[in-house]
Amino acid sequence: MKKYSVYALLKNGQDIQFETDTNIKVAMPVMIDGARFLVTKEEIVLNLDEVEKLEMVQIK
């Protein structure tokens, strides 16, 4: 199974880094109350409307 390291910089300046089995570049966002959310297999949820920068690197 492939593993990815993800870095997200939010519009409010906060940054988040996590590892996931989900390739976020091909994952389909889920629409909830008009906002786009990305949900990983580990149930990490990102509001894509609040993300300024998103980077992903395959680590395994």
Mean local confidence (pLDDT), 29-42: 96
Rounded distance, CA 57 to CA 3, Å? 9
d(CA 19, CA 32): 24
Say if residue 36's pLDDT is above 90.
yes
- The yes-or-no verdict on residue 1 having pLDDT over 90 is no
Confidence label for 6 from pLDDT (cuts 50, 70 and 90): very high
Its pTM stands at: 0.86
Domain 4-58 sits in CATH at: 2.30.30
State what percent of residues in the chain have pLDDT above 70: 100
